[in-house]
Amino acid sequence: MNPIKPIFFEEERLFLLDQRKIPLKEEYFECNSFKDTYYAIKEMVARGAPLIGAVAAYGVVLACKEFKDDHKQNFIKNMDYAIKHLAKSRPTAVNLFWALRRMEKVFKSNVDSIDTLENLYTLLINEAHNICYEDLETNYQMARYGVKVVKQKARILTHCNTGALATTGYGTALGVVREAHYVGKDIKVYVDETRPRLQGTKLTSWELQKEQIPFTLIADSVSAVLMKKGYIDLILVGADRIAPNGDVANKIGTYGLSVLAKQFDIPFYVVAPTSTIDLDISCGDDIQIEERKNEEVTNINGVRVAPDNIQVYNPAFDVTPSKNITGIITEVGILGADKNSIREFRRKGD
């Protein structure tokens, strides 16, 4: 089975599997400029916190390609503009800003001393490649830790898409599902649709069907009764930003699932790389929640199904308090969703 390739950089162009078209079409969207990558992130051609970071990293590469023949002062001004522009694409996933900071560090620490801007371009390409390689390795490591919380024949509920399509190729929460399947845990998955963008219906179903991992698609509203009936053994979700106290921002609907999980005493794990932990904030209230356009709620496949001229509220994420989270599965181990565990991890990882 060919691995899913959500992103690749070839002949100085960035290619993104266009997730707006899956599962009906498997087509690549080509980015030739940093503005193309801004568009791709904003319009969710490619989405998912870790993948958004990788796309932004190549956005900086494409900016360098665009401006490297300028005079150095113009080059620096244009690169600063490009990085600031990319940072405005989507506000919640901290991986975007983490990746941009990494790329900016390579740019700023070399631009004055390097002999040619062509060589700086090569350094930036290598850094973007490294971000992707590291993310893939992180996916595998999280899956190896995460499989420890998956019991034999577990019935796992997932939310949104946290697979190869949200990362550079294996997955966070869905990576744990993949690993559990491949090591023979005989699991089955309940995939919730995840309105309004339907990442579950369109993306997670597509990924699991490709690999013949047993799953059942459900409307978001079915989760509660499945938990009440005892049909769910474990809930695995991703994250877009984790506060140092263990509060987690993730796709809208996650908070409600966590409340139900607590009510029915079902283990509720977040799976995310440590690059998703934001030490510059103190708690979930500090996380900016992206609000997206009304049409995502009023339309289905481009066809309006709601009356005209109505009020719509379309937050793309919500915040799950640490007290509702059993643990945070990362590439350095399974952390408790609390200040001390996260502080302890940083001391080891510093």
Give the interface segment with ligand LNRAV4D5, choosing from 116-124, 142-150, 165-173, 221-229 (CB under 6 A). Answer: 165-173
- Tell me if 166 contacts ligand LNRAV4D5 by CB under 6 A: yes
Q: What does the buried/exposed string (b/e) look like for 27-38 if buried means 16 or more CB atoms within 10 Å of the residue's CB?
A: ebbebebbbbbb
318 is catalytic: no
Give the interface segment with ligand LNRAV4D5, choosing from 45-53, 213-221, 302-310, 335-343 (CB under 6 A). Answer: 45-53
Q: Which residues pair with 304 in a beta bridge?
A: 299
> What residues between 185 and 204 interact with ligand LNRAV4D5 by CB under 6 A?
199
Angle between helices 49-67 and 94-110 (to 10 degrees): 30
- Tell me if 54 contacts ligand LNRAV4D5 by CB under 6 A: no
Q: Kindly list the distances between the CA atom of residue 94 and the CA atoms of 135, 143, 294, 337, in Å, as whole numbers in the listed order.
A: 14, 21, 24, 18
How far is Cα 234 from Cα 153, in angstroms, rounded to an integer? 11
How far is Cα 141 from Cα 273, in angstroms, rounded to an integer? 9
- Tell me if 251 contacts ligand LNRAV4D5 by CB under 6 A: yes
* # residues contacting ligand LNRAV4D5 (CB under 6 A): 15
Binding flags for ligand LNRAV4D5, 297-316, as an x/- string (CB under 6 A): -------------------x
- Tell me if 47 contacts ligand LNRAV4D5 by CB under 6 A: yes
Min dist. Cβ of residue 240 to ligand LNRAV4D5 (A): 5
Give the interface segment with ligand LNRAV4D5, choosing from 2-10, 48-56, 127-135, 296-304 (CB under 6 A). Answer: 48-56
User: Helices then strands (H, E): number in the chain?
Assistant: 12, 15
* Cβ nearer to ligand LNRAV4D5, comparing 87 with 114: 87
* Cβ nearer to ligand LNRAV4D5, comparing 50 with 244: 50
* Cβ nearer to ligand LNRAV4D5, comparing 52 with 120: 52
State the sign of the Cα–Cα–Cα–Cα dihedral 187, 192, 276, 30. Answer: positive
Min dist. Cβ of residue 305 to ligand LNRAV4D5 (A): 21
Angle between helices 117-146 and 49-67 (to 10 degrees): 170
Min dist. Cβ of residue 299 to ligand LNRAV4D5 (A): 17
* Cβ nearer to ligand LNRAV4D5, comparing 168 with 245: 168
Query: How many other CB atoms sit within 10 Å of the CB of residue 25?
Result: 8
- Tell me if 172 contacts ligand LNRAV4D5 by CB under 6 A: yes
From the candidates 36, 240, 247, 278, give the one annotated as an active-site residue. Answer: 240
Residues, the chain: 350
Q: Give the tokens for residue 112.
A: 């004055």
Query: Using alpha carbons only, what angle is made at residue 333 by residues 236 and 191, rounded to the nearest 5 degrees?
Result: 10
Local structure of residue 107 (DSSP, 8 states): H
Min dist. Cβ of residue 128 to ligand LNRAV4D5 (A): 18
163 annotated ligand binder: no
Q: Give the tokens for residue 149.
A: 């919380």
48 annotated ligand binder: yes
251 annotated ligand binder: yes
- Residue 214 has φ and ψ, to the nearest 5°, of -60, 130
Written as one string, the DSSP assignment of 315-343 is BSEEEE-GGG-SEEEETTEEE-SSHHHHH
Residue with nearest beta carbon to ligand LNRAV4D5: 238
* Cβ nearer to ligand LNRAV4D5, comparing 106 with 274: 274
102 annotated ligand binder: no
- Which residues belong to the annotated binding site? 47-49, 90, 199, 250-251
Catalytic site positions: 240
